[in-house]
Structure 1
Amino acid sequence: MPLDQTPPLNSLGFAKAPADTRVVVAMSGGVDSSVVAAMLAEEGYDVVGVTLQLYDHGAALAKKGACCAGIDIHDARRVAEDMGFPHYVLDYENVFKDAVIDEFADSYLGGATPVPCIRCNERVKFKDLLETAKDLDADCMATGHYIQRKMGPNGPELHAAADASRDQSYFLFSTTPEQLSYLRFPLGHLPSKDDTRALAAKYGLGVALKPDSQDICFVPNGDYASVIRKLRPEAADPGNIVDMDGNVLARHDGVINYTIGQRRGLGIGGLVDPLYVVKLDPERKEVVVGPKAMLATRTVPVKEINWLGDEPLTSRKEWPIAVRVRSTRPPQDAILRPLSETTGEVELVTPEEGVSPGQACVFYDPDSSRIFGGGWIHKG
């Protein structure tokens, strides 16, 4: 190659050979991150696999087959051995408990509906683990998340995955521009999860048919209440189920057993129209119920905004965007009105039901797949 000619970029965007490019792969032991590691190893990159032990997999909080439990550490190690790259297990139990589990419990006690997976990405995987990758002299860190990183005129941009059914942008909105410059998401462009499993079979990975893990790794069978009882026993104090006027309709066995929008299991019979949980008041130990119309929300206060737009958030009084207020719902048209660099108010064009404090409000470009960041819904 002539001295004045720049080497072509490799698949990770670096102007050097894959063998000279070190990449730390965050390996959960599942099929997605295993395929990323195997793919990059086959392409000749200097791959280093890292798995985080996030909690004591012998304790009651953990469940068999959960992300980063014992079997998953074993599976990640086996992939590394088969593909011939080093693999390390890092003990992050204390960090995970302090940064994710304790806040999860406290948020529930406060009547919110937390999303611990977002905090885990924000405070553990994309913060502490990312710093570890830099300490290992890695050029970048790759994960198995279904989201895309695309280069725009002003640098890296975050985009939704090609497969909308697998898109994980709701859980990654708090990724900062600095983190995005260092991260890579090699699976985000794949048309479907079937393509990922086909790659796993191609590489001969034992996890090719391994079922997907559930979102919240430390919650057995989705039973939030049992986890909160172990962490905060006082959360199971009984109280009253009341209507909007404060009239007592029934008793309950703990506010933690209820979520905004819940209809079933209220123990209120004999009514013509169904009632829904419209508010949780932990201080008064009350579950407030009302008609479905009370769930409709048009104005959503948002804090801790992470903004990924090209212009400063406060450079405009209004931003026409699309927002997702729950991971299971598609983006809806809205207007974002900034109040500061990190706070704002979102007006939904069509009212949404079940908008709850503690959930994320993620911002999307209404005309493309780009994510403009997001923030946390609060009580206002």
Structure 2
Amino acid sequence: MALDGDTTLNSLGFAKPPSETRVVVAMSGGVDSSVVAAKLADEGYDVVGVTLQLYDHGAALAKKGACCAGIDIHDARRVAEEKGFPHYVLDYENIFQDAVIDEFADSYLAGATPVPCIRCNERVKFKDLLETAKDLDADCMATGHYIQRMVGENGPELHSAADASRDQSYFLFSTTPEQLDYLRFPLGHLPSKDATRALAAEYGLAVADKPDSQDICFVPNGDYASVIEKLRPGSAEPGEIVHADGRVLGTHKGVIHYTIGQRRGLGIGGLTEPLYVVKLDVDAKQVVVGPKEMLATRIIPVREINWLGDAPFDSQTEWHLAVKVRSTRPPREAVIRPTGPDTAEIELLTPEEGVSPGQACVFYETEGSRIFGGGWIWRGQ
């Protein structure tokens, strides 16, 4: 261990004993962050657990499978008590409402398909909570995300998790170099979620068999439309379902009930061919449908780019990388052409279907695991 001038680094990368290394662990109450906290406590680190209350405590208790809810706060506190480290609950309800929920509602009403989990990481967990960790004189902050932080020639780099099925890089592309310098991800190297649960059992954690959280924490059962209607009353205005060739095929109860690429539940019969939602025209209150081939997109405009490469983003006219346009899809080869310091035009070598404004476009190394950042898709096809 790093003593008396010895430069040996501990497991978190500091040249001092774990007992002299304070680490704030962001604890959601689930098995992943609980294992991180227990692991670091067992290794002798000065652990401080912090759980965020992101929305009304009573309402949160009523929703099963949500993170940062009432029962999860209880579970996180119990882990801290069992392992003997301090635990704090911070009320971030107003911050979460302003930084995540309001934008989610407004983006959805504008016809986009937002990804609030990315904004939560970017604007709440890796911003306000990270600053709180620094205020607590922590050397770093650790989370239970499945992603890897590796130190390269030019400093910390972001890499995909060892287990591709658990990789969360799509949701963490907006992590800045400064944040990455301070963050640690102790689970990123594990081969599977089973390995995490095995560690939870080894540490004797009551949450070892706790189910993973599902859907967006404030959207029960994935029903986006009902949440939007509660947040923005009167937002579900009826309109026409229109074929791309101009034919009116039917009516709808609100654009918010549809997403790009949707086929089922359109409510129009007598079709001779399968039709898909190819565009949402919010101003005209129209849901535009067409054949599947209309979903194919090759050129994607992207903005608000967070670049994690070694050279400045606009120092080259082209970057040949792979991109992921939805969290559930594999990266596909593309040419990224900067149009400014944080904007670009993405050309997909193979067209993708269902590319939607509001989704993230994340940049990956074509041969390797490094993530080069990403940005937000901001315009329709």
Give the AA of the match of 1:88. Answer: Y
> 2:244, 2:57 → 1: CA distance?
43
Distance 1:61 1:358, change over 3 A: farther
Secondary structure of the 2:196 match is helix
| Cα deviation, residue 5, structure 1 | 4.1
Give the AA of the match of 1:338. Answer: P
Distance 1:226 1:61, change over 3 A: farther
| Cα deviation, residue 236, structure 1 | 1.1
| Cα deviation, residue 4, structure 1 | 8.0
| Cα deviation, residue 321, structure 1 | 0.2
Distance 1:292 1:20, change over 3 A: same
> 2:333, 2:181 → 1: CA distance?
29
Aligned match of 1:40: 40
> 1:335, 1:107 → 2: CA distance?
27
Aligned match of 2:286: 286
Distance 1:210 1:267, change over 3 A: same
Runs of 4+ in 1 over 6 A off after TM superposition: 1-4
| Cα deviation, residue 63, structure 1 | 1.6
Number of residue equivalences: 380
| Cα deviation, residue 334, structure 1 | 0.4
> 1:64, 1:369 → 2: CA distance?
34
Distance 1:4 1:95, change over 3 A: closer
| Cα deviation, residue 7, structure 1 | 3.1
Aligned match of 1:374: 374
| Cα deviation, residue 6, structure 1 | 3.0
Aligned match of 1:307: 307
Distance 1:32 1:87, change over 3 A: same
Aligned match of 2:178: 178
Distance 1:279 1:295, change over 3 A: same
Q: What does 1:1-380 correspond to in 2, within 5 Å?
A: 5-59=5-59, 63-379=63-379
Give the AA of the match of 1:32. Answer: D
Give yes or no for contact 1:61–1:219 (8 Å, CA) kept in 2. no
Deviations 1:278-331 (A, max 9, x none): 000111111000110100000010000000001111111000000000000000
Secondary structure of the 1:259 match is coil
Distance 1:338 1:224, change over 3 A: same
- Comparing 60-69 with 103-112, greater Cα deviation is found at 60-69
| Cα deviation, residue 3, structure 1 | 9.2
> 1:127, 1:328 → 2: CA distance?
26
> 2:322, 2:56 → 1: CA distance?
40
| Cα deviation, residue 58, structure 1 | 2.4
Distance 1:111 1:78, change over 3 A: same
Give the AA of the match of 1:291. Answer: P
Distance 1:60 1:368, change over 3 A: closer
Distance 1:246 1:3, change over 3 A: closer
> 2:3, 2:102 → 1: CA distance?
56
Deviations 1:332-368 (A, max 9, x none): 0000000011000100000000000000000001011
| Cα deviation, residue 64, structure 1 | 2.5
Distance 1:62 1:154, change over 3 A: farther
Q: Percent identity?
A: 81
Deviations 1:220-246 (A, max 9, x none): 011001100100122211111001133
Distance 1:104 1:62, change over 3 A: farther
Give the AA of the match of 1:13. Answer: G
| Cα deviation, residue 2, structure 1 | 11
Distance 1:365 1:276, change over 3 A: same
Give yes or no for contact 2:2–2:17 (8 Å, CA) kept in 1. no
Give yes or no for contact 2:18–2:46 (8 Å, CA) kept in 1. yes
Give yes or no for contact 1:117–1:215 (8 Å, CA) kept in 2. no
Give the AA of the match of 1:65. Answer: G
Give yes or no for contact 2:65–2:212 (8 Å, CA) kept in 1. no
Give the alignment's TM-score, normalised by structure 1.
0.98
Secondary structure of the 1:59 match is helix
Secondary structure of the 1:41 match is helix
> 1:61, 1:246 → 2: CA distance?
47
Give yes or no for contact 2:314–2:338 (8 Å, CA) kept in 1. yes
What RMSD, in angstroms, separates the aligned Cα atoms of the two structures? 1.5
| Cα deviation, residue 270, structure 1 | 1.3
> 2:2, 2:77 → 1: CA distance?
42
Secondary structure of the 2:230 match is helix
> 1:369, 1:36 → 2: CA distance?
22
